[in-house]
Structure 1
Amino acid sequence: MSTVPKIPQMPTATDGTDVQGVLRRHYAVALKRFAKFAVVLLPLFLSAIVTKIDYLLPLSIAGFIGLLSVAFLLYGRISSARRCARVFRTYPLEFRAPVGKVHEQRPLTLYLRLGGEGGGARIMRAKRLSDGSGWPEGIENGIWFAGDELFGGAAVVPGSEVLLFMQPSEWKETDAERRNAGEERAGKAGRAGLKQYVVPRI
């Protein structure tokens, strides 16, 4: 019986945090935000049902639509974090520095180059999955990255602990490289959920 490997801890050389902790906080923030809106929207949804007063029906409809919208956003945040967790389980973490800022497509899409061994040439399209927008503070000093630049990966920005999911910005143009990457490399990307282009739900 196979067991799912544990997500590795982030090395303590930078700020002592770990990937599991970052993911737990990401889940917690998403759930708290859902609960915050649900406290307001659920009574609206139940108003006409409980009181059976017809003129409250528009409020019930508005509450129902609001709950669906918030639930959809919650699902997007949770599924995106789980996708990152899958990458972290498959690839080891490595510190990549510096990070070159190429372009910012607000509010949540960043184009960057990873420094370090073998990095710098490929532009990566990164989605910011944590709260906030724009460039995370201190990202230029390096990130903890797990993945394969040809297929993509996930990363955490030290200090701010912003979670990123990224893939090559020129996905179609690099398709031939992925086909010729070799069975072992492609298989690992498949286990991490990176063989296909992904649009994170956030």
Structure 2
Amino acid sequence: EQYIAEVREIIGMDIPLAIDHVGHISLQNGIRLARRIEKYVPAWLEDVIPWQYTEHYRQLQDATTVPICTGEDIYLKEGFEPLLKSGGLSIIHPDLLTSGGILETKKIGDMAQDHGVAMAIHMAESPIAAMAAAHVATATENFMALEYHSADVDWWDDIVTGVAKPLVKDGFITVPDQPGLGIDDVVDEVIS
């Protein structure tokens, strides 16, 4: 809780603060944690318990005002369906590279929307995956955020050519209007 309080104090209340991977803990401890951090108004609390525990997710969501999120390790639409039907999530968090690709992630987002659940896309991979995620986000009505892990990697944008640089500017990715993902090429050093 101390870390969350310190970050919230620094960034203020206008910037969303998502709480990611505290590690899998028990349902009871997850509820305790969620209730303790309610006052910091987090955007979501992610992966507190294993995603396979559908009933526990419903109990966790029912016990707190904090939006509950999971999904970066779930494969295919069918994997998300029990959680969505249970009412155990406020936000799903698929990763295109593990959820089944561009079309499958779009279908997952649409299914979540049918259940009144938002979608934040997990993305800790290459600029190619980032562009794929940006295209899915653009085509999905319930999209809310794209996780981005490479802000401090100087060479990350240089892996590909043909897209606006920096790839992420002022918190946004410009989705190109060229065919495919809009990437011209992958830099030769990456291939070798």
Larger Rg: 1
- Higher RCO, 1 vs 2 (CA within 8 Å, ≥6 residues apart): 1
Question: Would the TM-score normalized by the shorter structure come out above 0.5?
Answer: no
| TM-score normalised over the length of structure 1 | 0.22
Report the structure, 1 or 2, having the larger strand content.
Answer: 1
| TM-score normalised over the length of structure 2 | 0.23
